[in-house]
Amino acid sequence: MSLAGLARDAGDAGDYFIPYPDQVLENVLENVLVFLKSRRDRNAVSLVCKSWYRAEAYTRSEVFIGNCYAVAPRRVTKRFARVRSVTVKGKPRFADFSLLPQDWGAHFTPWVAVMATAYRALEKIHLKRMSVTDDDLAVVAHSFPNFKELVLVCCEGFGTGGLAVVVSECRHLRVLELIEDEVFDDEVDWISCFPSDGPSNLESLSFDCVESPINFESLEKLVARSPLLKKLRLNRHVSVQLLYRLLIRAPQLTHLGTGSFSPLEESNNENTRETDYVSAFAACRSIVGLSGFREIAPEYLPAIIPVCANLTSLNLSYANIDAEQLKPVIRHCHKLQVFWVLDSICDEGLQAVAATCKDLRELRVFPIDGAENAEGPVSEVGLLAISLGCRKLQSILYFCQQMTNAAVVAMSKNCPDLVVFRLCIIGRYRPDHVTGEPMDEGFGAIVKNCKKLTRLAVSGLLTDMAFSYIGQYGKLVRTLSVAFAGDSDIGLKYVLEGCTNLQKLEIRDSPFGDSALRSGLHHFSNMRFVWMSSCQVTQEGCLDVARQLPRLVVEVFRRDEEEGGQRGDFVDTLYMYRSLDGPRADAPLFVKIL
């Protein structure tokens, strides 16, 4: 039956309003929309007309909630009926740095309660910065018979007991990834709770953030009966000797988190002295990603050399190694695209990276010592070297003690593909250490020359000029992080008036006040959130915003949980976000919603 035939028949009947062809069109649309994955495309589709809205809602299988308080769970389940995958993000990012009080919120419980009945076919849950309890995990385990993937990033509130319930009852579990979570040690042997009858479906298991020891014998048996296992990330309680035993059982791994990568104390028996780690790694021909090295004994590092030529991702950010220890390894990593490392490798180590890793896309250099007057092992020298050697760089996070505008300008010109530029000069208010000038010109060059830039974090001594550049050139910037910067309200005004695509704004300890806040009234409803802590906004200023933008939830609180939210004349922390369902009902006492 052709479409045209249908339409012709209906048309002959003489009716003007013909539901049947619409229904067919809708079916066709649904069949086409199934292939549409990008949520931005889907959002656009849903705006065309009512029937497209319905068709899109019916076919959306992956739902992404960028702020758990922007919409009530029931509204989501009512609109999207056939969802297989849910991603929910909760707390604002500054929670990672202890700037958000413990019991602020972002509870998963109301979400899982609603989904338990609405989404029986749910297969995947991905949470970031949510508060998840063991009970929530139990609900997950009991409610979704087809459950396959659980990914928890920067979450807290659950323990090994909750994990045990998930792994024992979710028989189709393929992926369990715990990334940077805080997991209680309930002393439950969760690794032993995986079903032991027959081969497992496990493809990815990451528990490097779990602080409690694990039952290695159970883990070894689990790995042995998981032929599909590709990603395995161990915690620091797995010594290098135990790692060896796992490696020889799982040569098909593509991603490995190596655990402590140091030997256990009692390593003086003959067996361990002759262990051939190099061969074990050489047998793993598929490894493309390496991480772990939690308590590295540097003499073991060369064991990974056999896999270096294929590595696309290497995370050494827990490994306190120097340049001489890095060089023999990094010089083989020609295909490296993602590299996370500690500044212990110094500028010299970065130069070695720049010399070899021509395909590098993402670099993160973390500080081994966060003190503001520490001797900085990396500086503008390393940054310049990277900019010269790694021309395809797209994303950089760089902690240092000192920097120059010249190096930042050079990077802006050498790496035009930069999408993410995050520079953290640990010494607050520190100027260009060669010229003594503010870092305005450097960051200005970044926003001007890096035409694809969407995420920016600034530091060092910055005047309002820097913000004028950001407002003028940062048209694609969606995320902006500011700390200890700027001179006056004008700085923030430049940003709020100029950055038309700004979605996420986080500011701390900067002299921006009510007048600046007001200049963003036209834009706040288009943003995911605004965070301002230890700035100069007052209660009245925040009230003003709350009154003028009723769809915005304006939260005011103090980091130390004292009620009222004020510190002296100013508000301690302002956190505001748009919401379809009004202020949340679960706000703790110390949070004031205006």
Partner 1 sequence: MDQKRSTLDLFNTDLATELRLGLPGTTDDKPEIIKTASLSGNKRSSSEMGSSTCTDENQSRFSPPTKEQVVGWPPVRSYRKNILQAKKPESETGSGMYVKVSMDGAPYLRKLDLKVYKCYEELMEGLQEMFKCIIGLYSEREGYNGSQHVPTYEDKDGDWMLVGDVPWEMFISSCKRLRIMKSCEARGLSA
Write out the residues near partner 1 by the rule CB under 8 A. 94, 96-99, 180, 185, 187, 209, 295, 317-318, 320, 342, 366-375, 399, 402, 424, 426-431, 433, 436, 461, 481, 483-484, 508, 534, 559-560, 567-568
Shortest Cβ 424–partner 1 spacing (Å): 6
Residue 252 or 267: which CB sits closer to partner 1?
Answer: 267
Cα 56 from chain centroid? 27
Residue 289 or 427: which CB sits closer to partner 1?
Answer: 427
**Pick from 176, 151, 147, 170: nearest CA to 88:** 151
Residue 376 or 498: which CB sits closer to partner 1?
Answer: 376
Contact 141, 147 (CB under 8 A): yes
Shortest Cβ 27–partner 1 spacing (Å): 49
Shortest Cβ 295–partner 1 spacing (Å): 6
For 424, residues 6+ apart whose C-beta sits below 8 A from its C-beta are: 397, 398, 399, 400, 457, 459
Angle at alpha carbon of residue 426, lines to 421 and 432, rounded to 5°: 75
The interaxial angle of helices 405-414 and 440-449, nearest 10 deg, is 10
Shortest Cβ 461–partner 1 spacing (Å): 7
Shortest Cβ 204–partner 1 spacing (Å): 22
Shortest Cβ 170–partner 1 spacing (Å): 27
Q: Which amino acid, one-letter code, is at 311?
A: L
Phi, psi of 495 (to 5 degrees): -70, -50
Q: With b meaning 16 or more CB within 10 Å and e meaning fewer, what string describes 422-458?
A: bbbbbbeebbbbeeeebbbbbbbbbbbbbeebbbbbb
Shortest Cβ 265–partner 1 spacing (Å): 9
Report the largest interatomic distance among the alpha carbons of the chain, rounded to a whole angstrom: 93
Shortest Cβ 87–partner 1 spacing (Å): 21
Residue 62 or 322: which CB sits closer to partner 1?
Answer: 322
Q: Which residue has the tokens 């029937």?
A: 51
Shortest Cβ 370–partner 1 spacing (Å): 4
Beta 479-483 vs 455-457: how paired, if at all? parallel
For residues 229 and 222, give the distance between their C-alpha atoms in angstroms, rounded to a whole number. Answer: 10
Contact 454, 420 (CB under 8 A): yes
Residue 66 or 511: which CB sits closer to partner 1?
Answer: 511
Residue 135 or 186: which CB sits closer to partner 1?
Answer: 186
For residues 232 and 267, give the distance between their C-alpha atoms in angstroms, rounded to a whole number. Answer: 24
Residue 99 or 418: which CB sits closer to partner 1?
Answer: 99
Phi, psi of 473 (to 5 degrees): -110, -15
**Which helix (DSSP H) or strand (DSSP E) does residue 420 occupy?**
strand 420-425
Half-sphere exposure for 391 (CA within 13 Å, toward CB): 2
Shortest Cβ 565–partner 1 spacing (Å): 15
**Which pair of tokens denotes residue 145?**
């018979």
Compute CA distances 128 → 87, 113, 207, 505, whole Å: 8, 18, 15, 18
Beta 420-425 vs 62-65: how paired, if at all? unpaired
Shortest Cβ 244–partner 1 spacing (Å): 22
Cα 229 from chain centroid? 24
Contact 455, 479 (CB under 8 A): yes
Residue 33 or 439: which CB sits closer to partner 1?
Answer: 439
Task: State whether residue 395 is helix, strand or coil.
Answer: strand
**Which helix (DSSP H) or strand (DSSP E) does residue 169 occupy?**
helix 160-169
Residue 134 or 432: which CB sits closer to partner 1?
Answer: 432
**Which pair of tokens denotes residue 6?**
């249908």
For residues 142 and 145, give the distance between their C-alpha atoms in angstroms, rounded to a whole number. Answer: 7
Residue 392 or 567: which CB sits closer to partner 1?
Answer: 567
Residue 9 or 185: which CB sits closer to partner 1?
Answer: 185
Residue 164 or 210: which CB sits closer to partner 1?
Answer: 210
Shortest Cβ 185–partner 1 spacing (Å): 8
Shortest Cβ 441–partner 1 spacing (Å): 16
Residue 144 or 318: which CB sits closer to partner 1?
Answer: 318
**Which pair of tokens denotes residue 86?**
């849910």
Residue 157 or 389: which CB sits closer to partner 1?
Answer: 157
**Pick from 480, 471, 474: nearest CA to 453:** 474
Shortest Cβ 402–partner 1 spacing (Å): 7
For residues 70 and 62, give the distance between their C-alpha atoms in angstroms, rounded to a whole number. Answer: 17
